[in-house]
Amino acid sequence: MFFLDQINWTSLDSWIVLTGALIAMACALPGIFLILNRNSMIGDGISHAILPGIALAFLLTGSRDWFVILLGAATAGIITIALTRLIQNFGQVESGAALGVVFCSLFALGLILIRVASDHVDLNPDCVLHGSIETAVVDFRKVPLVTTQSAIMLLVNLALTLLFYKELRISAFDPSLAATLGFHPELMRYCLTTLTSITAVMAFEAVGSILVIAMLIVPGATALLLTHKLHWALLLTLLFAALSGILGHVLAIWGLPQFFNQLISSIEFSSASTSGMIATTAGILFMIALGIVKIRQCLNL
């Protein structure tokens, strides 16, 4: 194809696009329920606060085994929520302030531990913070391991969403009714937190702990701008997440360098970070959706 030839598209680019789309969709599924539960900042807090869990798992075991990492991250995620509730209830502070205290403290502790761990284990702190999807897909296997893991995470999140659709929907929209029906909304919240922690860890290698929040929250927020029906919102969330992954890489290797080369001809710009452009693309799609909503409101459509 002419377009692909023009940007020198390789099989590595195809794996990056596929992996980015799978990760974005896997993150977006628990993310939309965080938004519906009015716990969007929980996603931000978890993505930062699970760092000490990962670092401690490395330091205690000296292993990069995925099960050890997931266990450390999930434990840190649950501790984050428990500490937030504890400070909120006993300190009589509002939830945002309690979360800010907990996740900033744990994130700072995580940064210290990550630096310590990097001296003993083959661990790149910059990769943990910002991700590197371009190098993550470089693998001797027929299908890169990160792509397989992302696909499995998406299937698990999709299966759990479909299996507990009724419970998640009632817990999000009417916690009192959920408690009356015996759904235990607090337990659902902890399960959602654990699933978010595990998903965030799976996305770390590709998009890092800082940018993963964009994957968790922005596609769901974009979908909820356009519809209030949950089943349509879920479908739109997956669509916007996949578009972010696909367009993000294309813009990183072609669109952004072309734009800056046209703007500043004296400097030759090369490709940009795909992880950063995936997050930026998600933000652009949100702004487009917001514009559509505002136009519809102005025209009374």
Distance between CA atoms of 124 and 286, rounded to whole angstroms?
Answer: 32
Dump the DSSP string for the chain. Answer: -HHHHHTT--HHHHHHHHHHHHHHHHHHHHHHHHHHTT-HHHHHHHHHHTHHHHHHHHHHH----HHHHHHHHHHHHHHHHHHHHHHHHHHT--HHHHHHHHHHHHHHHHHHHHHHHHTTSS--HHHHHH--HHHHT--SSSS-HHHHHHHHHHHHHHHHHHHTHHHHHHHHH-HHHHHHTT--HHHHHHHHHHHHHHHHHHHHHHHHHHHHHHHHHHHHHHHHHH---HHHHHHHHHHHHHHHHHHHHHIIIIIHHHHHHHH-TTS------HHHHHHHHHHHHHHHHHHHHHHHHHTT-
Tens-place pLDDT, residues 108-123: 887 787 777 666 655 5
Q: Which of 200, 215, 220 is nearest to 49 (CA)?
A: 200
pLDDT confidence of residue 218: 93
Tokens of 150: 């992302």
pLDDT confidence of residue 236: 95
Distance between CA atoms of 254 and 113, rounded to whole angstroms?
Answer: 37
pLDDT confidence of residue 173: 77
pLDDT confidence of residue 189: 77
Distance between CA atoms of 237 and 217, rounded to whole angstroms?
Answer: 10
pTM of the model: 0.82
Q: Which of 191, 288, 190 is nearest to 236 (CA)?
A: 288
Q: Which of 79, 90, 21, 70 is nearest to 45 (CA)?
A: 79
pLDDT confidence of residue 224: 93
Tens-place pLDDT, residues 12-35: 888 999 999 999 999 999 999 988
> Which pLDDT tens digits describe the chain residue by residue (301 residues)?
555 666 678 888 889 999 999 999 999 999 999 888 887 777 777 777 777 887 787 777 777 677 777 788 778 877 877 888 788 777 777 777 777 788 778 878 877 877 776 666 555 666 666 677 877 777 777 888 889 989 999 999 999 999 998 888 888 777 777 777 777 777 787 788 778 878 887 787 677 766 788 888 999 999 999 998 999 999 999 999 999 989 988 888 887 777 777 777 666 667 778 888 888 899 999 999 999 998 988 887 6
Distance between CA atoms of 64 and 201, rounded to whole angstroms?
Answer: 12
**What type of residue is 231?**
H
